């Protein structure tokens, strides 16, 4: 059994990005990332802090626009417009979740697709499905980088994706199909989850439910990607997979923490540098 070490790979990617950022700076372009953070959600604040620190390490300029929970949709849209028009900012990230009185879809659609480094805009989602060059959502993109790093060939593989969110499950499906995998996608209405996971060569799960995938639900030699992250009552961080028992049957498996999580932030940085490169080409 091989551990898919996302922490190690993310550091390697950051080192490469540092060089790319230096090259861009020599051409007069400093990659810039703006983050919009609304409210007091502790997890959101932690994630934003991690993103800001990572930007600093590779030389990306970052700015966080913090707003109270009470901000209006109109005020938020006005800020997005301002960032869209700022030539020094190449990537714009809306930290989710947003308060209930704000239409999340409307906000995400207001982001300039050329600055949509989270890959959530319908324009970029459409290009992703068609297999065109675009910004892919960071978590599924990070999973694809892990497959590449560990020479896991996806062509013809039976893959079961558990979770059908717009952020992870659906874009994960698109990336896998474009890599010629045969993809089964399961969700809350799936009748018999284990019937799908048992026949899969690769199981990818991200629903936020500890021990959802147990050893009796997978076949020997399975490759397991655990995107879930859950904090137990005793303070431990675990994924959606019963790691201790499933790892005994797996050929490859991601740990939690240290698997997909660090890759998500690395891909955000990679998308931001990509956006800055695109900008540099346009202003030539």
9 falls within a domain: no
Residue 86 shares a structural domain with residue 176: no
User: What is the spatial distance between Cα 63 and Cα 48, in angstroms, rounded to a whole number?
Assistant: 10
User: What is the spatial distance between Cα 47 and Cα 18, in angstroms, rounded to a whole number?
Assistant: 21
Q: Which residues are catalytic?
A: 51, 95, 118
177 falls within a domain: yes
Residue 91 shares a structural domain with residue 152: no
Residue 38, both tokens: 């609304």
117 falls within a domain: no
Q: Are 208 and 241 in contact (CB under 8 A)?
A: no
204 falls within a domain: yes
79 falls within a domain: yes
pTM of full prediction above 0.85: yes
Residue 142 shares a structural domain with residue 108: no
Has residue 284 got a pLDDT over 70? no
Residue 223: CB partners within 8 Å, gap ≥ 6? 152, 201, 202, 203, 250, 251, 252, 253
Residue 108 shares a structural domain with residue 185: no
Residue 152 shares a structural domain with residue 219: yes
Choose one of 112, 147, 164: the last residue of a domain.
112
pLDDT at 147: 98
Q: What is the pLDDT of residues 148-197, one digit of tens each?
A: 999 999 999 999 999 999 999 999 999 999 999 999 999 999 999 999 99
Residue 154 shares a structural domain with residue 236: yes
Nearest to 121 by CA among 132, 133, 131, 111: 111
User: What is the spatial distance between Cα 171 and Cα 146, in angstroms, rounded to a whole number?
Assistant: 16
User: What is the spatial distance between Cα 255 and Cα 260, in angstroms, rounded to a whole number?
Assistant: 8
The angle at the Cα of 264, spanning 259 to 268, to the nearest 5 degrees, equals 155
Question: Which residues are 161's β-sheet partners?
Answer: 185, 204
250 dihedral zone (left: phi>0; alpha: psi -120 to 50; beta): beta
Residue 105 shares a structural domain with residue 202: no
DSSP 194-229: HHHHTT-SEEEE-SS-TT-B-GGGS-TT-EEEE---
Residue 64 shares a structural domain with residue 170: no
pLDDT at 235: 87
The angle at the Cα of 259, spanning 277 to 107, to the nearest 5 degrees, equals 50
Cβ burial of 101 (10 Å; 0-12, 13-18, 19+) is exposed
Residue 256 shares a structural domain with residue 145: yes
Has residue 35 got a pLDDT over 80? yes
Segments in the chain forming alpha helices (H): 6-26, 42-58, 73-84, 104-110, 122-129, 138-149, 169-178, 193-197, 243-246, 260-282
Q: What is the pLDDT of residues 68-125, one digit of tens each?
A: 999 999 999 999 999 999 999 999 999 999 999 999 999 999 999 999 999 999 999 9
Q: For position 201, which CATH number holds?
A: 3.40.50.720
Q: Range of 54's domain?
A: 28-112
201 falls within a domain: yes
What DSSP designation does 257 have? Answer: T
pLDDT at 281: 86
Average pLDDT over residues 131-150: 98
124 falls within a domain: no
Q: What is the pLDDT of residues 55-68, one digit of tens each?
A: 999 999 999 999 99
Choose one of 97, 112, 127: the last residue of a domain.
112
Q: For position 87, which CATH number holds?
A: 3.40.50.10860
Half-sphere exposure of 6 (CA within 13 A, CB side): 25
Residue 108 shares a structural domain with residue 150: no
Q: What is the pLDDT of residues 185-244, one digit of tens each?
A: 999 999 999 999 999 999 999 999 999 999 999 999 999 999 999 999 998 999 999 999
118 falls within a domain: no
Residue 76, both tokens: 């938020």
Residue 102 shares a structural domain with residue 191: no
pLDDT at 20: 97
Sign of CA dihedral 216, 217, 220, 224: negative
Q: What total of structural domains would you count in the chain?
A: 2
Residue 162 shares a structural domain with residue 78: no
């Amino acid at each position: 059994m091989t551990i898919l070490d996302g922490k190690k790979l993310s550091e390697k990617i950051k080192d490469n990005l540092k060089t790319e950022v230096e090259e861009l700076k020599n051409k007069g372009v400093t990659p810039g990332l703006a983050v919009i953070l609304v409210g007091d959600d502790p997890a959101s604040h932690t994630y934003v802090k991690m993103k800001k620190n990572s930007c600093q390490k590779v030389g990306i300029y970052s700015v966080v626009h913090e707003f109270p929970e009470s901000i209006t949709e109109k005020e938020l849209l006005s800020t997005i417009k301002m960032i869209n028009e700022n030539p020094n900012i190449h990537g714009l990230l809306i930290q989710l979740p947003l308060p209930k009185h704000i239409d999340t879809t409307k906000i995400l659609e207001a982001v300039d697709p050329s600055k949509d480094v989270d890959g959530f805009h319908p324009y970029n989602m459409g290009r992703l499905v068609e297999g065109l060059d675009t910004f892919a959502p960071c978590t599924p993109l990070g999973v694809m980088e892990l497959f590449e790093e560990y020479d896991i060939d996806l062509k013809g593989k039976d893959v079961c994706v558990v979770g059908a969110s717009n952020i992870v499950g659906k874009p994960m499906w698109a990336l896998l199909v474009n890599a010629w995998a045969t993809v089964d996608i399961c969700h809350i209405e799936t009748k018999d989850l284990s019937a799908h996971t048992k026949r899969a060569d690769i199981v990818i799960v991200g629903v936020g439910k500890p021990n959802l995938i147990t050893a009796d639900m997978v076949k020997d030699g399975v490759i397991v990607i655990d995107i879930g992250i859950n904090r137990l009552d005793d303070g431990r961080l675990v994924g959606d997979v019963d790691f201790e028992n499933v790892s005994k049957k797996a050929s490859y498996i991601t740990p939690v923490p240290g698997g997909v999580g660090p890759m998500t932030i690395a891909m955000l940085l990679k998308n931001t540098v990509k956006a800055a490169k695109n900008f540099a080409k346009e202003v030539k």
